[in-house]
């Protein structure tokens, strides 16, 4: 079963991805139909005209074709494409980077990481005390709290202090 674009990327990430790639109104950045096809061919070695199965199914706008590609292509290829699109976006930018752009970039690369198999979740259940010790048990519990709260740096700092 193929997962849909909406299932592959959580809504908040999807909104930021589409904002970063300027996908409103059916576009993708400043790419025309011809340069969209050229971009895929030059950066990924894929010709959208001959590989229609990856691009068809949602409609003919560049944004819809990109969404179809994300649904149908292998995850590693999607990650490569998203990195290439980000680099291209940077090459056409004409304004200074703002804090909002930095938030957008962070969210964008969380999405890229999703396709690269990088997980933001840390399994804290593997941390165990190797000997009975009240102090060590407290330390392990604090590691788990920090990791479960998505604060791995705090847990690492505590480990270094111990």
The residue behind tokens 């479960």 is: 148
Tens-digit pLDDT profile for residues 19-68: 999 998 999 999 999 999 999 999 999 998 888 788 887 888 999 999 99
Q: Is the pLDDT of residue 98 over 60?
A: yes
**What is the model's pLDDT at position 49?**
87
Is pLDDT above 90 for 18?
yes
pLDDT at 126 over 60: no
Q: What is the pLDDT of residue 92?
A: 87
The conformation of residue 157, written as its DSSP 8-state character, comes to: H
Residues of the chain with pLDDT > 90, as a percent, come to 38
Could you please report the per-residue DSSP string of 75-129? HHHHHHHHHHHHHHHHHH--S---HHHHHHHHHHHHHHHHHHT--S---GGG---
* Cβ count near 31 (within 10 Å): 20
Rounded distance, CA 28 to CA 39, Å? 11
How many angstroms separate the CA atoms of 56 and 73, rounded?
A: 12
- Predicted confidence at residue 21, as pLDDT, reads 95
**85 or 124: which carries more pLDDT confidence?**
85
pLDDT for 75-97, tens place per residue? 999 999 999 999 999 898 777 77
Indicate the helix (H) or strand (E) that contains 47: none
Would you say residue 1 has pLDDT above 60? no
Query: Phi and psi at residue 133, in whole multiples of 5°?
Result: -165, 125
pTM of the model as a whole: 0.69
């Amino acid at each position: 079963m193929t997962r849909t674009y909406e299932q592959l990327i959580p809504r908040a990430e999807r909104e930021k991805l589409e904002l970063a790639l300027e996908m409103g109104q059916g576009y993708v950045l400043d790419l025309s139909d011809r340069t969209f096809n050229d971009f895929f061919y030059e950066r990924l070695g894929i010709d959208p005209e001959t590989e229609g199965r990856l691009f068809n199914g949602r409609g003919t706008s560049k944004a819809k074709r990109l969404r179809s590609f994300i649904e149908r292509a292998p995850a590693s290829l999607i990650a490569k494409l998203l990195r290439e699109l980000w680099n291209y976006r940077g090459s056409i930018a004409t304004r200074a980077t703002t804090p909002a752009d930095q938030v957008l970039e962070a969210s964008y690369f969380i999405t890229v990481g999703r396709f690269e198999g990088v997980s933001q979740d840390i399994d804290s259940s593997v941390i165990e005390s190797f000997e009975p010790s009240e102090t060590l048990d407290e330390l392990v519990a604090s590691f788990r709290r920090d990791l479960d709260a998505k604060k791995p740096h705090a847990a690492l700092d505590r480990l270094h202090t111990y």
